[in-house]
């Protein structure tokens, strides 16, 4: 997302002009094996945010606040340029 999609007026003044996240791109897909950070995943900070949900899904758990089983929606913690991730447990 571009910051303008979230804020009309950002709550802080960025030191540099902010655009959408330049690390991750729309439509990218990664596969975690055994809950480990996927090879080639480009943002350790985002992974730290995703890991608790990845761990739950990798052990067969589900998020009780979603009707769908094996799915979680998690937002990167960058408050000015959030990236929204859809996590899905692969069907075996």
52 burial (CB, 10 Å; 0-12 / 13-18 / 19+) is exposed
Distance CA 27, CA 12 (A): 29
| Predicted model pTM | 0.84
Helix (H) or strand (E) holding 88: strand 84-88
4 pLDDT more than 90: no
68 pLDDT more than 90: yes
Domain ranges of the chain: 1-92
- Strand duo 84-88 + 71-75: pairing: antiparallel
- The answer to whether 34 and 60 are in contact (CB under 8 A) is no
Give pLDDT tens digits for 44-61. 999 999 999 999 999 999
């Amino acid at each position: 997302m571009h910051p303008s999609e979230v804020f009309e007026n950002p709550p802080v003044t960025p030191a540099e002009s902010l655009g959408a996240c330049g690390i991750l791109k729309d439509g990218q897909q990664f596969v975690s094996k055994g809950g480990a950070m996927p090879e080639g995943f480009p943002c350790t900070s985002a992974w730290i945010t995703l890991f608790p949900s990845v761990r739950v899904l990798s052990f067969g758990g589900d998020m009780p606040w979603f009707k769908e089983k094996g799915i979680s929606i998690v937002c990167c913690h960058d408050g000015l340029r959030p990236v929204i991730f859809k996590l899905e447990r692969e069907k075996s």
